[in-house]
Structure 1
């Protein structure tokens, strides 16, 4: 059976897509299957979410510090890619595997045109087996040193996509338009001011009710 891999993205138009990768291979007993993802700034992972998948794989992350902040919009993070490495044992009985990486998309900046989606290309992960050192080996795919260190004494066997495949997926993220910014800001201001006056009104009613109760209690004591 030839080694091969292919990928797709589930829910590519949402803020919470899933990268799904299929791997087919034989004869890699006592080896680990590894998938290296390169994520642009608009994309991030949730470390706690991946930790819940410990039964499926372990993960390592390398990227600029700001890219781990889940709340920042894309304009506030460093313009550098991040790397995620997933690793899982390859059992003797395995001949195929499907690996899923859930990820999330940041809010993008408003656009000047009428386009309400921004398209971002995502490369398929680099897939490779790491086995106990032997005579045959290939080079590791490019990755940060913090991720490559564990493979220093391992034999590497890359798994390639089919020759006719285009190893890239597109996610489409909803964005606002600059023409709507003024209306959104005005609406937000109105809601904030209305909420403030509502809270003031509730607080005054509460104070009057408490004062009224205190006067009744004082009258009874007299």
Structure 2
């Protein structure tokens, strides 16, 4: 099966390299996506990134699994909304989809039209506990500022058939129990309506593609394999 891999904020598609290599050994075809605005210097919008994801879905020979990491959980979910009949499964890694009408990822201050990586202070604790100083320096040096048109883009969802698409939530810096509690409390309204929802645990920080690529690949392969 094709597995489309969408990284979160500040990341290039190459962040999936180790995961992609492991997925091939599991018999899948990984397709890491580098989206408009992720290193090409363009003033991309959220719509541009959604269009790139949908182009990858449409180019897949069968029904792909779509993996969204962190904020890109929303991109994966937007793909399910636009192509509910063409996606086998959505896998969310360390993130949850935003609801209709909400901004995509206006989490930090924009500077000169982009949202730069804010440094490690906002991510102290479970998010970054498994990253050593060298890994943190490398991450920060490679971080790609997010175009303002992406970060502040408004999420638009319209097809309720998205709730028929099976979803797997991979829980790295939080537990499945916590995720279920947040959904039950109404914090993630989109997932509360999903008809086939699973949770898997992954003991890591927020960026398991860097710290646990083999285990993340194993979980993604298991999620993509037919039952």
Which TM-score band (shorter chain)?
Answer: under 0.3
Considering fraction of residues, name the structure with more helix: 2
Considering fraction of residues, name the structure with more strand: 1
Larger radius of gyration: 1
